[in-house]
Amino acid sequence: MADGADTVLVGRRRRDPTTTSRTPRRLRGDALLAAVAAVFTVAQLVLVHPGMGLGWDETVYVSQVTSHHPAAFFSAPRSRGVSLLVAPVASWSSSTELLRVYLAVLSGVGLYLALRAWKGLYPSRVLATAGAFFATLWVTLFYGPQAMPNYWVAIGALICVGCFLRSWQGLSGRAALWGVVAGTALMAWMRPTDAVWVTLPLLVLVLVRRRRLPLLALVGGLAAGGVEWVIEAYGWYGGLGERLSRASEIQGGLGWNIAVDDQMRSLGGRALCRPCSGSLPHPVVTLWWVVLPVVAVLGVVVAVRAGRAARALIPFACAVTAAVPYLFMIGYAAPRFLQPAYALLAVPVADALWHLVRTERGRWRPVAAAVVALALAGHLAVQFAVLVGTVDRNVASRQDWTRLADELHRLGVRPPCLITGHESIPIGYYTGCSSGATSGNNENTTVAEIVDTARRIPVATVIGPGGTPPGYARTWTPHRIVDLGVRVAPRE
């Protein structure tokens, strides 16, 4: 009896130091991840002006939930996730600054939670490096505080894949499966088709291995996040197939179409490259993009040799499938499309970088460390330069919409009102008017309806540079605002 008691006490005394040492280490790791997320939040607020007006797509998403502007036409590819994300602020406030601050803080919290999902799979220093790499890409900083879906698909991808791996390797039991559900649902909530592409390798793996619970978690997450999009497809588009077909049509028809060069052209700071013409940016700007998959493959090799192949191969495979439709299936490009792939590749990339600068025994390799540090410094300088230029251009273009809205107000086009023609959706939002189009991807009205509306409320059509007014507006009063033509319907 005494021996048994002593054994318990001795066991406790031997475990206590271990438990005590692990707790501070765990707290230090959490603090490191939190610091990365906090710096990311502050960097957004400093480098991406909170006062920058809403972009075209943002006006669509925000207008769905705000009481200060009419809802813009919501085309087939879009999902309601972003609108619900911004609703806590946009539903009662028209302040762009407040919305930007809210999204910057939320994106920092999201990054922290996404990195936490990988705890136990990699050391905290690797996860912090992965988070820092992803967070310092100009496309991540630029879109973090914006009402756009792609960053949140990336966060959902990190949570989903990280929790999947923890469950797969038995590190967190069934609790990790709820993380799989949450991450998958977040992706599907934002962009259902992207969620399918990201989870494709996971679905194949669980089907081959016949793992029922992970399969249920993945399918349950896809269903929970995408159910609204499917219901809307049957309510508004005549069925899921019809909505997918319309979405493909709006995106130029999905099919074999190499867009690798288009994505490279967009790396210079082009928010949307459609059509994607012109020369490629300077090689210094695109170098990181070419090197990224090479370093990621090195990270996979390092993991395989260390006996932890799944931890690198699975995120790498998910990154590849996430990138495939945007590299090989559409005829245009936007740098934000690849954010989920960048986020997933960041993990094996960070592992590779640490392998390059430190030996297996933890000793520094001075020469390699200096080279990697120099390369990362150059990389950060390039990202910062592209970000500054991108922010400046977008601030200027959105200020043009504000000035145009002010001029339209001066001409008597005030809410309730209707804007048609060139860039009618963002101009309508800035003016406080509804927007209408009789053709194109955002077709939502007819000529007869526009003419009838002009009898009741102010209507204006905007003509782009070099354009001609539509037939219904040729007799309307012409005006010139900067380089745009404006025709205002006469009031009866």
Residue 3 pLDDT > 90, yes or no? no
CA–CA separation, 168 vs 486, rounded Å? 60
Mean confidence (pLDDT) of the chain: 92
The C-alpha angle with vertex 341 and arms to 381 and 206, in degrees rounded to 5, equals: 155
What confidence category does residue 492 fall into, taking pLDDT thresholds of 50, 70 and 90? low
Specify the DSSP element, H or E, that contains 100. helix 96-116
In a domain? residue 405: yes
Inform me whether the pLDDT recorded for 16 exceeds 80: no
Which region among 80-84, 168-172, 300-304, 408-412 has the lowest average model confidence (pLDDT)? 168-172
Q: How many domains does the chain have?
A: 2
* Model confidence at 274: pLDDT above 90: no
Q: Per the domain annotation, does 311 fall within a domain?
A: no
Please state, in angstroms and rounded to a whole number, the distance separating the CA atoms of residues 210 and 309.
20
The residue-averaged pLDDT of 121-149 equals: 97
Strand order in the sheet with 484-488: 434-436, 418-421, 459-463, 484-488, 477-481
Query: Looking at 251, 282, 305, which one is the last position of a domain?
Result: 251
Can you tell me the mean pLDDT for 241-248?
Answer: 92
Mean pLDDT of 331-335: 91
Q: What percent of the chain lies above the pLDDT cut of 70?
A: 95
Q: How confident is the model at residue 65 (pLDDT cuts 50, 70, 90)?
A: very high
Pair of tokens at residue 117:
């999902």
Q: How much is the pLDDT for 22?
A: 55
What pLDDT does residue 20 have? 44
Residue 348 falls inside a structural domain: no
The DSSP bridge partners found for residue 459 are: 418
- Which structural domain range is residue 217 located in? 2-251
List the Cα angle 285/289/292 in 5-degree steps. 140
Mean pLDDT of 1-22: 39
Task: Summarize the confidence of residues 157-182 as an average pLDDT.
Answer: 93
Across the range 387-412, mean pLDDT stands at: 96
Specify the range with the lowest mean pLDDT, choosing from 16-25, 190-199, 380-389.
16-25
**3-class secondary structure, 329:** strand
Give dist(CA 281, CA 266) in Å, integer.
Answer: 8
In a domain, residue 263? The reply is no
pLDDT of 14 over the 60 cut: no
Does position 151 have pLDDT exceeding 70, yes or no?
yes
Q: Say if 309 falls within a structural domain.
A: no
Omega of the bond leading into 416 within 30 degrees of 0 (cis): yes
How far is Cα of residue 293 from the mean position of the Cα atoms in its chain? 20
* pLDDT one-digit tens code per residue, 96-120: 999 999 999 999 999 999 999 999 9
Domain boundary among 208, 234, 251: 251
The per-residue pLDDT for 12 is 35
Q: Tell which of 219, 251, 283 closes a domain.
A: 251
The answer, yes or no, to whether residue 217 has pLDDT greater than 70, is yes
Q: What is the mean pLDDT of residues 53-57?
A: 97
Question: What per-residue confidence (pLDDT) applies to 13?
Answer: 38
Overall average pLDDT of the 258-269 stretch: 92
Q: How far apart are CA 421 and CA 474, in angstroms?
A: 13
Give residue 374's pLDDT. Answer: 97
Q: How many CB atoms lie within 10 A of CB 1?
A: 5
pLDDT at 361: 80
What residues does 487 pair with on adjacent strands? 461, 478
**Amino acid in position 438:** T
pLDDT at 9 over 50: no
Do residues 373 and 367 touch, judged by C-beta distance below 8 A?
no
Tokens describing residue 163:
């929790």
Per the model's pLDDT, the better-predicted residue between 430 and 17 turns out to be: 430
Please report where in the chains the tokens 């005494």 appear, as a residue.
2
Looking at residue 8, its pLDDT comes to: 33
326, part of any domain: no
> What is the mean pLDDT of the segment spanning 351-363?
91
pLDDT score for 173: 75
Give me the helices (H) in 144-211, please: 150-168, 175-190, 192-209
Residues 6+ apart with CB under 8 A from 16: none
Integer Cα distance of 394 and 170 in angstroms? 47
Amino acid at 327: L
pLDDT value for 23: 59
452-475 pLDDT, tens digit per residue, is: 999 999 999 999 999 999 999 999
190 in a structural domain:
yes
For residue 117, the 8-state DSSP code is T
Question: Which of 16-25, 210-219, 465-474 bottoms out in mean pLDDT, i.e. has the lowest?
Answer: 16-25
pTM over 0.85: yes
Confidence (pLDDT) at 25? 65
**351 occurs within a structural domain:** no
